[in-house]
Amino acid sequence: MAYNRRMVMKPGLRRFALTAHVTSPVGWLGSVAAFLAVALVALSSADDFKARSASTTMELIGWFVIVPFSGASLLSGVIQSLGTQWGLLRHYWVIAKLLITVGASLLLMLHMQVVSSIALAASNDAAASSRLQGPKVQVVADAGAAVIVLLIAAVLSIYKPAGRTDEPAPRWVRVAGAVVAPGVIAFIFSHVAGGGMHGRH
């Protein structure tokens, strides 16, 4: 079925939206990578002061850098999809990227609860670091997984694999549904059901 390829947005607005859509995910990925580096210091440093400082820094990076970038990525992605020929639900790769962004944003908010509990404990108790190894390991693992997921979203944006929703699903969609989706569902369930909230004290 043919569809209208006319750009909905005016050229100036479209360029602004495209700039926001390109830079926001890059900022999100970069800030998560920086967060991962700090989290590794918080987990592995033998210097208690350095570990506690890293724990509070994680919270600052999370709330003031990562969370805003995730929100901007989601909003700019929706605007970019609706304002161009791609549409929001016309192409499988757009839907896949949307699901990744929404899922990553929701898990980020759960993740930040753990990060905040680590920062609070580290700032209030000089002897807390030894009791925070479990939550710190979880934070490092979640940040590492987030880097991989955001890289997948970047690959989708660059390669734009073929497949429209008004046609039979291509092979990559079927493979993702059969292999990736169950793992993602299990990961989300473990967090929502309590596996991702070990940071509570």
DSSP letters, the chain, are -------SS-HHHHHHHHHHHHHHHHHHHHHHHHHHHHHHHHHH-S-HHHHHHHHHHHHHHIIIIIHHHHHHHHHHHHHHHHTSTT-SSSBHHHHHHHHHHHHHHHHHHHHHHHHHHHHHHHHH-TT-GGG-HHHHHHHHHHHHHHHHHHHHHHHHHHH----BTTSPPPHHHHHIIIIIHHHHHHHHHHIIIIIT-TT--
For the cut 70, the answer to whether the pLDDT of residue 179 exceeds it is yes
pLDDT of residue 9: 73
pTM of the model: 0.85
pLDDT (tens digit, 9 = 90+) per residue, 89-99?
999 999 999 99
32 and 143 Cβ atoms separated by less than 8 Å? yes
pLDDT (tens digit, 9 = 90+) per residue, 118-175?
999 888 875 556 678 889 999 999 999 999 999 999 999 999 999 999 999 999 998 8
Spell out the domain ranges in the chain.
11-195
For the cut 70, the answer to whether the pLDDT of residue 25 exceeds it is yes
Q: Going by C-beta distance under 8 Å and a sequence separation of 6 or more, which residues neighbour residue 16? A: none
Q: Helices 11-44 and 48-61, interaxial angle, to 10°?
A: 160
Lowest mean pLDDT among 53-62, 150-159, 163-172, 182-191: 182-191
State the average pLDDT for the chain.
86
10 Å CB burial of residue 45 (0-12, 13-18, 19+) is middle
Lowest mean pLDDT among 24-38, 161-175, 183-197: 183-197
For the cut 70, the answer to whether the pLDDT of residue 182 exceeds it is yes
Give the bridge partners for 91, in sequence order.
164
DSSP notation for 10-59: -HHHHHHHHHHHHHHHHHHHHHHHHHHHHHHHHHH-S-HHHHHHHHHHHH
Highest mean pLDDT among 35-39, 76-80, 124-128, 170-174: 35-39
